[in-house]
Structure 1
């Protein structure tokens, strides 16, 4: 039975709540048992102290009664030998005090029958001494001093007093023996109480230390790991996992946290993949529209403009109005072609497809209404989706700097390392940009995160805006 309980305890079948309850019950039993024993021991020692005080009163009463008997014997003997009435003063006082003191001794001895019997014997022998010897002695001495002073009479008095003193000695020895036994028992109980208190304290310390270690190992440390994991998940790191070493509720929590992290990572990966597909589809659609405009509509408009110029040349010189009309139509066709080129560039820049991100950013800088400084340290073509994402980030940043930031200068830095591209766009405008308030920043974040990148925006009021982008190239 004990082995099965221990296997359940250490094997993890019992819940953490049950283990806490069991440890609390053990500690409560230990502390309660120790305190109960100490309370009983203290009560026993208090009772022993009370009995000791009672015993001291009993002994004091016995000593007082013995002194009364001695005063009776001394007064009577002195009166017998000298006939001086002065000896009768203490004798009379002792005789008057005998009965009250004897009653007090019997009352104090009533709790223990052997002592009560001894007290009764002392009282009987004392009364017999007074009535049968001391009183007749004093009376006879008063009548005839010479006739009663015989050795036999003195010997009888001595014998009676010795017998009474023997009774007193027996009473005192027995009472002292009882007091010594009680004192020994009290001292033994005190020693046991000390040992129990020390054992209880040591046991409590060991139990508390062991339980604290168990809580630290099984609860505090796992909860700290769970807290650290939660912080990592909050910061976006969904690859972190817990070692599922906990038992009972803690183990269930660790498994739940790992399941949650895996589920979040799967959902995030699916979301990123979906956003990437949407962004790729949009880019492909824009490229197709740009290509169709360039290869179809734009070429037809160019051809139409050329036909209008040829028609203008075929018109006779004297038909000035018609020539002017055809020239205006040709100019309008040229303007439409130019506007169509600008429109197709906004849909998807052809220079990005032909020459790459460095040329595309350089073209954006030249067309910007603000002075733009560039530091483009990329010597090779990047993946297409990476170039598209960076291009639109730069385009949107330049637009925001001109429209909202009231900047006077913009600096663009682009570097490519092994597996990542880092872009920084900084303006010296008024700052205070907030992605939650629009300004195209939300769309930029979505586009960058769609290709697995990250966006960091720092825009303190009055200190410009800095946009940092990191995009993986693999």
Structure 2
């Protein structure tokens, strides 16, 4: 449909030309006036408030200066009273306020000089500081020192009159300073009151003007915008209630008219796409549920069952299957979903020659055929769609969906299935990766244990035996040394003692590499010896009286050994409780200490290595170590290691 052209014939749509001279222009003009009025009011208000703040700050500062000046006067009076009382009575207690004033007065007059802001007051403050310090330095301190020495002139009239003259002068200076500062404070307060009244008047005027402009604009918007928009909103509510054929009448050619026409166009589009949006929402929700299972590492059979059900519900199919292709040309049913009827059991081998899975396997691409009914469905022709499941770049299997031929699956069915088969492939790859990782870790642990066992045997049967034989030979040589050569006999004895120490050290090293008692007597005797050698007392509760698989015994031994070592080094524990029990198909270990807790596997405590060893055996290890409450390890190792 061609756009309308304005009267000038310039080819522009007439509705946009009308809009430029319509509601937008009026609103922009009114808004500009309102913004100008409000901005002017705010600027004037800001200036007034700045003056008000400055005036109040000046008044507050004047009060502070008056308070400091009064402190200076009080200190001078206290000094005068204290020194006079001491001179008259000779009691040292009268000098306590004098001492306080002598120490404090210089700081207070300096403070007064620093905070004064009026030039004339600044001169008075400087003179006051000079006279106050001179009073202390030239009169008060010499007078008190003379009184302490008992000199009689301090009680004479000249000394008293000199002090009175000095203190009266300081009082007059302080009274004049305070009086002047109070007058300045009153003036500042008066300015603050004037600024407050001016700010109030400006704010009231600006508010009244903005309210008036707002009322005018509101009336205009109500008639030209609000009513049409409200009518449009009511129509939107009808559409939201399910009446997708509702439309709003077009009453204007300006912006509101454009809105009404756009709304009607949107309603038509919404009516057209609402079904598609609902379908996509359901499909995405199904994908999220399946993706959550994959991300959590749930078992493959659980993921397969969920995918089969979700695809069946999304496509409205009669039956869905997940098939794993076998080398003999058949397929194994790993999951199935059926709207009604008996399902083919999981694990069943089925032929795929005449099914949609056949071309999927041959081409590695989605396929669609008309298929005869499977045994689970009533006899009829079915629309069948299948998509490959790729794992590691190869076709692992397929997912198929069937629906009655009279209501075939949509053309996009294959693409929808492919979104789910990607998740299935990820789940299969994850499961294979986990299995490969567990097997690899188990092989590494087994090889490490075998290497430890071999090194221990070599040390015991080789180097250690040679050290013993060498010690015996030296003993024989020692016995044959003539009695007249005792130094040589002593040297040979020292060599034998050193060889015995080396042999003991080597024996201890071999036990750490792989304790022989573990291979000979099993887990129980090995743990008893480990408990006796522990630096921390061990309360051992041993519930195992039989031999276990070598890998299980070695793993359990090193878990307990590392836990006892950590308790001795870091836990500050007084006792460690170790429990060992073979229950059902698992070996359970519990190691608890009463130490300080706060163990962290990330800080190199050896717990990461123990976790790897336990998990390589298919077991689990949980640690709890709250600060101040000790450390607890709970380990479960399957007795039948895969």
Q: How much has 1:286 moved relative to structure 2?
A: 1.2
Match of 1:291 in 2: 457
Cα distance in 1 between the residues matched to 2:599 and 2:301:
31
Match of 2:289 in 1: 224
Q: Is the 8 A contact 2:290 2:303 kept in 1?
A: no
Match of 1:364 in 2: 530
Deviation by residue 1:72-96 (Cα, 9 ceiling, x = unmatched): xxxxxxxxxxxxxxxxxxxxxxxxx
Q: How much has 1:446 moved relative to structure 2?
A: 1.3
Q: How much has 1:223 moved relative to structure 2?
A: 3.4
Q: How much has 1:381 moved relative to structure 2?
A: 0.9
Q: Is the 8 A contact 2:452 2:514 kept in 1?
A: yes
Counterpart pick for 2:630 among 452, 464, 472: 464
Cα distance in 1 between the residues matched to 2:486 and 2:528:
45
Taking the TM superposition and a 5 Å limit, the aligned residue runs for 1:298-313 are 298-313=464-479
Match of 1:85 in 2: none
Match of 2:510 in 1: 344
Runs of 4+ in 1 over 4 A off after TM superposition: 210-219, 236-239, 247-250
Partner SS for 2:304: coil
Match of 1:450 in 2: 616
In structure 2, do the counterparts of structure 1 residues 463 and 364 end up closer, same or farther at CA, with 3 Å as the change threshold?
same
2:496 counterpart of 1:330: yes
Higher relative contact order (CA 8 A, sep 6+): 1
Q: How much has 1:250 moved relative to structure 2?
A: 5.5
Match of 2:553 in 1: 387
Partner SS for 1:241: helix
Highest CA radius of gyration, 1 or 2?
1
Counterpart pick for 1:274 among 440, 459, 462: 440
2:620 counterpart of 1:409: no
Match of 1:172 in 2: none
Q: Is the 8 A contact 1:239 1:261 kept in 2?
A: no
2:504 counterpart of 1:439: no
Match of 2:303 in 1: 241
Cα distance in 1 between the residues matched to 2:246 and 2:635:
69
Partner SS for 1:412: strand
Match of 1:423 in 2: 589
Partner SS for 1:242: helix
Cα distance in 1 between the residues matched to 2:424 and 2:575:
48
Q: How much has 1:443 moved relative to structure 2?
A: 1.0
Q: Is the 8 A contact 1:229 1:242 kept in 2?
A: no
Q: How much has 1:324 moved relative to structure 2?
A: 1.0
Taking the TM superposition and a 5 Å limit, the aligned residue runs for 1:75-90 are none
Counterpart pick for 1:35 among 232, 240, 246: 246
Total equivalences in the alignment: 281
Deviation by residue 1:104-123 (Cα, 9 ceiling, x = unmatched): xxxxxxxxxxxxxxxxxxxx
Taking the TM superposition and a 5 Å limit, the aligned residue runs for 1:179-198 are none
Partner SS for 1:452: coil
Cα distance in 1 between the residues matched to 2:608 and 2:304:
33
Q: How much has 1:237 moved relative to structure 2?
A: 5.3
Q: Is the 8 A contact 1:413 1:425 kept in 2?
A: yes
Q: How much has 1:418 moved relative to structure 2?
A: 2.5
Partner SS for 1:455: strand
Q: How much has 1:219 moved relative to structure 2?
A: 4.8
Counterpart pick for 2:542 among 376, 381, 404: 376
In structure 2, do the counterparts of structure 1 residues 274 and 228 end up closer, same or farther at CA, with 3 Å as the change threshold?
closer
Cα distance in 1 between the residues matched to 2:521 and 2:443:
24
Cα distance in 2 between the residues matched to 1:354 and 1:418:
25
Partner SS for 2:540: strand
Q: How much has 1:229 moved relative to structure 2?
A: 4.5
Q: TM-score, normalised by structure 1?
A: 0.54
Q: Aligned Cα RMSD in Å?
A: 3.2
Q: Is the 8 A contact 1:414 1:423 kept in 2?
A: yes
Cα distance in 2 between the residues matched to 1:380 and 1:238:
36
Deviation by residue 1:186-211 (Cα, 9 ceiling, x = unmatched): xxxxxxxxxxxxxxxxxx9xx98x88
Q: How much has 1:315 moved relative to structure 2?
A: 1.5
Q: How much has 1:345 moved relative to structure 2?
A: 0.5
Q: Higher helix proportion, which one?
A: 1
Deviation by residue 1:253-295 (Cα, 9 ceiling, x = unmatched): 4322222122122112212222221211111111111101111
Cα distance in 2 between the residues matched to 1:433 and 1:409:
17
In structure 2, do the counterparts of structure 1 residues 412 and 319 end up closer, same or farther at CA, with 3 Å as the change threshold?
same
Cα distance in 2 between the residues matched to 1:338 and 1:252:
68
Question: Unmatched 5+ residue regions in structure 2?
Answer: 1-238, 251-270, 312-412
Q: Is the 8 A contact 1:229 1:240 kept in 2?
A: no
Partner SS for 1:361: helix
Cα distance in 1 between the residues matched to 2:618 and 2:431:
13
Cα distance in 2 between the residues matched to 1:440 and 1:364:
18
Q: Higher strand proportion, which one?
A: 2
In structure 2, do the counterparts of structure 1 residues 308 and 396 end up closer, same or farther at CA, with 3 Å as the change threshold?
same
Q: Is the 8 A contact 1:222 1:250 kept in 2?
A: no
Cα distance in 2 between the residues matched to 1:457 and 1:216:
42
Q: TM-score, normalised by structure 2?
A: 0.40
In structure 2, do the counterparts of structure 1 residues 371 and 273 end up closer, same or farther at CA, with 3 Å as the change threshold?
same
In structure 2, do the counterparts of structure 1 residues 258 and 379 end up closer, same or farther at CA, with 3 Å as the change threshold?
farther
Taking the TM superposition and a 5 Å limit, the aligned residue runs for 1:47-126 are none
In structure 2, do the counterparts of structure 1 residues 228 and 267 end up closer, same or farther at CA, with 3 Å as the change threshold?
closer
Deviation by residue 1:42-100 (Cα, 9 ceiling, x = unmatched): xxxxxxxxxxxxxxxxxxxxxxxxxxxxxxxxxxxxxxxxxxxxxxxxxxxxxxxxxxx
Deviation by residue 1:159-209 (Cα, 9 ceiling, x = unmatched): xxxxxxxxxxxxxxxxxxxxxxxxxxxxxxxxxxxxxxxxxxxxx9xx98x
In structure 2, do the counterparts of structure 1 residues 461 and 238 end up closer, same or farther at CA, with 3 Å as the change threshold?
farther
Match of 2:9 in 1: none
2:422 counterpart of 1:256: yes
Partner SS for 2:571: coil
Cα distance in 2 between the residues matched to 1:249 and 1:378:
58
Cα distance in 2 between the residues matched to 1:269 and 1:399:
32
Q: Is the 8 A contact 1:226 1:242 kept in 2?
A: no
